[in-house]
Chain A
Amino acid sequence: MSFIDIRDISKSYGEVPVIKNLSMSVEEHEVVCLIGPSGSGKSTLLRCINGLEAIDDGEIQVHGDRITGPGVDVDALRQDIGIVFQGYNLFPHMTVLENITLAPIRVLRQSRDEAKENAMALLKRVGLAHKAKEYPDRMSGGQQQRVAIVRAMAMDPMVLLLDEITSALDPELVSEVLNIVRDLASDGMTMLLATHEMGFAREVSTKVCFLCDGSVYEEGPPEQIFGDPSRDRTRAFLRSIREAKRI
């Protein structure tokens, strides 16, 4: 039994199928990168695991517990499964510190001091302790995304889902965010990340899944997927990425 077990799930928006009979598994402490063309279902898959989207068919299990379908307390589920979005989605009316401590105080019922202490420790780790009192819109994209990661980490999740977290960033800000992900990976954080940063995916992941038309088309260790992909569409995808000099 795997840590996260995704069994034959399907999801469509109205008439448009986004995920079709997708199955995959993630072990604890694994870093799984989801790559693939846009519209292949990477983001939707992450949102389904977090319960932000309901799936139509199949099921997802974490540690043998079913987390999809009727009767699941999604609020409780999300406390253990964190997600970071492409657009940061920080709360603009709150300071950095308030953004981070909101959920620990209101959901986990931590005391204000405890939540603040945790938040400051995490902020220090990402080099933003001095920005605790700042408002998000006054910070750079890279800084905001680091705060968003801290906000998710403050809930002490079992899994962290990262949804194209560098896609909205200026190129020179990408590395400051990726360094944090690298850091979390070396700490053994279980992560699933949808990404277009192929070089980073190759370096940090333990497994790469190439998604195509809503299902896993090819999966394997990064050396194999990037070095010697066995199937046509994976090859075609990686070739077009290389031609755009993005790898």
Chain B
Amino acid sequence: MSNATRHSAHLIKPAGNGRRLRIGGMPRVPAALLILSIAVVCAVVAGSWYTIAAARASLAAELGGLWVDAAAALLAVLSVLVAWPLARAIRRCGSIRKAARRQDVSEARVARSSARDQCFIALGYALAQLIVIVACQFLLANNQTVAKTFFLAPLMIKTFPLVLAAFWTNIEIFLVAEVLVLVWGLAVALAMFAPGAGGRPLRFIATAYVDIFRAIPAVLVIYLVGFGIPLTGISFLKEISSTTFVIIALTLTVGAYVAEIYRAGILSIHWSQTAAARSLGLSHMQTLRFVIVPQGIRQIIPPLLNAFIALQKDTALVSVVGVIDSFNQSMLIASNYYNLSAVTTVALLFVVISIPQTRFVERMMQRDRRRMRAGA
């Protein structure tokens, strides 16, 4: 008999022998968790009331009236809602004791599990509420200077049309740049896959381009292209507006990233797909065009969207060459009024355009998956 088999004979102990499952026994009340939850919830409710009172005091000074009091009272009531799951947890703990007295293990287990769940729900919501309180305290700090510096509502409303008009410049720049980037990035990616010895120089140049332009900060490219090329005095380039130069600069920068994304997408397609396509007589380019790229693109839609959102945000960099985009406009307003609220408007505008895109792409991908996958 070998060592191994002799050993394994001892590894498995005989069943029975009074051995019990470790989950056995009558469950007890999760006291530590319950006390922690009660303490945290009480602290958070106290903090909420303190913050609401402070906010009421400062708002009452400005707006005054019954509305502020009513809103404060409503918020104070709402802030106590976090104690609701805690109350349920306490009730469940009562059930645990009752079930234990009846010697009903199963019932007690259910009650304990439910009590723990409710405690964790209370803790989770309390933590979220705490984060909101801290943010509110920051806004109220220093006699609400923070709130007024960033969110001065009357100024935001007054300057909104101006900022929005300038925001169209951003939209125009990123829409044109996105279309160009899609085409340019694919061209560069395909150049990186140029076949054979003849393709070597093309592969080299494409790779070098991607490496270089991913290394240079976008703001430098915009500055160099936007200011530098007009300085060269080349006649046919003179007529071009600085918005166009900015679009070219962004396309060059983001194109390098997007080329990398395309490349990753193409590489992510298993080689057996290439083998199948080539085995049918399709050429290298036909294989890429009909089989590899269409599948690769489906893979890269999320990173592509990320690159696009980054591009949209980078349109704010065009202010360095004096294009009046929303950021530049808002900075003018900020220096005139000595208040940054117009810049906040720009930030909000970027948020507003970015979120629907994310949701749209998610939905589109889901539909695509449903169509092609089984069990849908």
Contact = CB atoms under 8 A, between A and B. Distances in A.
Contacts of A52: 275, 278-279
B297 to A, nearest CB: 9
Contacts of B373: 135, 137-138
Interface residues of B, number: 22
A138 B375 CA distance: 7
A107 B371 contact: no
B282 A102 contact: yes
Contacts of A91: 273, 276-277, 291, 295
A137 B275 contact: no
A223 B280 CA distance: 34
B281 A79 contact: yes
A152 B272 contact: no
Interface string B272-307: 110111111111001000110011001000000000
A127 B5 CA distance: 53
Nearest to A47: B275
Contact of A106 (B275, B282, B294): B282
B372 A137 contact: yes
Contacts of A155: 280-281
A210 interface: no
Interface string B344-376: 000000000000000000000000000111101
Q: Is the interface of B mostly helix, strand, loop or mixed?
A: helix
Interface stretch (A18-26, A80-88, A172-180): A80-88
Contacts of B276: 85, 89-91
Contact of B272 (A82, A87, A106): A87
A76 B279 CA distance: 10
B292 to A, nearest CB: 10
Interface string B154-194: 00000000000000000000000000000000000000000
Interface residues of A, number: 28
Interface in A142-168: 151-152, 155
Nearest to A148: B276
Interface string B240-284: 000000000000000000000000000000001101111111110
Most buried by A among B276, B298, B373: B276
B266 to A, nearest CB: 14
Contacts of B280: 78-79, 82, 102-103, 107, 151-152, 155
A102 B283 CA distance: 12
Nearest to A151: B280
B282 to A, nearest CB: 6
Contacts of A135: 371-373
A50 interface: yes
Interface in A85-121: 85, 87, 89-93, 102-103, 106-108
Nearest to B275: A52
A134 to B, nearest CB: 10
A92 B372 contact: yes
Contacts of A65: none
A205 B144 CA distance: 89
A8 B272 CA distance: 28
Contacts of A93: 294-295, 298, 372
A170 B39 CA distance: 59
B273 A78 contact: no
A75 interface: yes
B279 A83 contact: yes
Nearest to B284: A75
Contacts of A78: 278-281
Nearest to B372: A135
Given A137-B374, A138-B373, A92 B295 contact: yes
The 10 closest A-B pairs by CB, nearest first: A89-B276, A103-B280, A79-B281, A107-B281, A78-B281, A138-B374, A135-B372, A89-B272, A83-B279, A93-B295
25 contacts: A50-B279, A74-B278, A75-B278, A75-B281, A75-B282, A78-B278, A79-B281, A82-B279, A85-B272, A87-B272, A89-B273, A89-B276, A92-B295, A93-B295, A102-B280, A102-B282, A107-B280, A107-B281, A135-B371, A135-B372, A137-B374, A138-B372, A138-B373, A138-B376, A139-B374
